[in-house]
């Protein structure tokens, strides 16, 4: 950094003391042209953004424009500043070369880093907004994480770039790479869970609030973390399940929008004839559909069981917790029992008929 300051001072002293009036005028013209080019670049940038970002809101376009305007202006001005600097043809070659190799690339690199940081910040906010609207495969949690990771990466590059002016950072980078490899080997399970979380998010297997089932588990997703998900089972207990174990499971998702698919099964006796069976199906549809949490229902005669005629009601209902599910089932069962009793429709129960063969 001291070398850069000394270089700037030497260059300024030479221009003040040795530059000819013609060279100063030519350099001034280039600087004025640079200011004019900045104004033109602003208008061109606005028009290009308006054409290429028609799908974006005006507020977002303005934010991107404001983020890119400052670095863009500086890049344009540096280009004309280099042309102005080249006007001093009698400057010693070593001084001229040092400015071109040392000063201008540093300004450009810092400008690009600032631009990258601002654009990453806007991109992360855009991902969060799209995830909240449901128009992105990433949920809000991953959108925020990717945004923070991107900004951290750009900031880390900037810090390393600054440190390179004071110390030789190559040995430290080599040590950091070995340390990173060791940490990765020691954290295989954690990394596996993080990758599993990303796969679940991108494939949209489920989201918080959905009712899912797999294996012996059936319940509502109450939290989705980078390491595991939390499932509230229909029996009430909370279960933490690692993400990497979920990826290989056959997961059933019973939720759609705000509704959950629910199946209610009732068995009636074989004494009922077709009119009674059809009446029972109609009563089930009427009872289930009349519940305030039920959106739609379909009833079917599903099975000739060992001791019952099985009737099934498939409905889409609005409930989010295991307790709400239990209350819904309880209220529907009570209503069905009351109606069936009033209509003299008998419920089946396990029975067994024994035939005794007599021998002479």
Cβ partners under 8 Å of residue 2, min gap 6: none
pLDDT in tens, 110-163: 777 777 777 777 776 666 666 555 544 455 566 666 667 777 777 777 777 666
Q: 212 forms bridges with which residues in the sheet?
A: 219, 253
Q: Which residues of 153-173 are buried (b: 16+ CB within 10 A; e: fewer)?
A: ebeeebeeeeeeeeeeeeeee
**Cα R_g (the chain), whole angstroms:** 36
Q: What is the pLDDT of residues 45-86, one digit of tens each?
A: 888 777 777 777 777 777 777 777 777 787 788 888 888 877
Write down the pLDDT at residue 301.
Answer: 93
Predicted TM-score (pTM) of the model is 0.51
pLDDT, tens digit, for every residue of 186-211?
556 666 667 777 777 666 777 888 88
The domains of the chain, with CATH numbers, are: 2-183 (no CATH), 204-254 (2.30.30.60), 257-342 (3.30.70.100)
Sheet holding 309-317, edge to edge: 255-256, 259-268, 309-317, 294-304
Portion of the chain with pLDDT greater than 90, in percent? 13
Report DSSP letters for 201-219, one per residue.
Answer: HHHT---TT-EEEETTEEE
- If 0-12 CB within 10 Å is exposed, 13-18 middle and 19+ buried, where does residue 3 land? exposed
CA distance 206 to 214: 12
Tell me what pLDDT residue 168 has: 66
For residue 196, give the nearest of 230, 152, 226, 219 by alpha carbon. 226
Phi, psi values for residue 259, rounded to 5°: -110, 155
So what's the pLDDT on residue 284? Answer: 92
């Amino acid at each position: 950094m001291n070398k850069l300051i000394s270089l700037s001072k030497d260059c300024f002293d030479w221009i003040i003391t040795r530059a000819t009036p013609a060279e100063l005028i030519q350099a001034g013209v280039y600087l004025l042209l640079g200011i004019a080019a900045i104004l033109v670049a602003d208008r061109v940038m606005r028009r290009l953004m308006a054409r290429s970002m028609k799908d974006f809101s005006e507020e977002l376009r303005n934010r991107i424009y404001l983020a890119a305007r400052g670095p863009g202006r500086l890049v344009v001005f540096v280009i004309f500043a280099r042309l102005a600097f080249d006007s001093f043809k009698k400057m010693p070659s070593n001084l001229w070369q040092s400015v071109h190799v040392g000063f201008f690339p540093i300004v450009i690199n810092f400008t690009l880093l600032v631009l990258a940081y601002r654009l990453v910040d806007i991109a992360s906010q855009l991902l969060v907004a799209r995830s909240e609207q449901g128009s992105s495969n990433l949920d809000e949690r991953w959108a925020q994480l990717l945004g923070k990771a991107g900004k951290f990466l750009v900031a880390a590059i900037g810090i390393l770039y600054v440190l390179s002016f004071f110390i030789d950072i190559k040995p430290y980078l080599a040590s950091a790479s070995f340390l990173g490899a060791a940490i990765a080997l020691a954290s295989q399970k954690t990394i596996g869970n993080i990758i599993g979380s990303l796969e679940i998010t991108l494939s949209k297997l489920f989201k918080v609030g959905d009712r899912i089932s797999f294996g012996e588990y059936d319940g509502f997703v109450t939290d989705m973390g980078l390491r595991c998900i939390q499932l509230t089972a229909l029996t009430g207990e909370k279960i933490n399940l690692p993400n990497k174990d979920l990826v290989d499971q056959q997961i059933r998702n019973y939720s759609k929008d705000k509704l959950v698919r629910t199946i209610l099964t009732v068995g009636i006796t074989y004494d009922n004839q077709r009119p009674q069976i059809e009446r029972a199906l109609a009563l089930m549809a009427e009872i289930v559909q009349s519940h305030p949490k039920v959106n739609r229902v379909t009833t079917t005669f599903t099975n000739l069981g060992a001791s019952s005629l099985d009737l099934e009601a498939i409905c889409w209902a609005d409930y989010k917790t295991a307790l709400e599910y239990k209350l819904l089932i309880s209220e529907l069962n009570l209503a069905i029992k009351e109606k069936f009793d009033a209509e003299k429709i008998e419920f089946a129960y396990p029975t067994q008929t024994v035939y005794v063969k007599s021998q002479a």
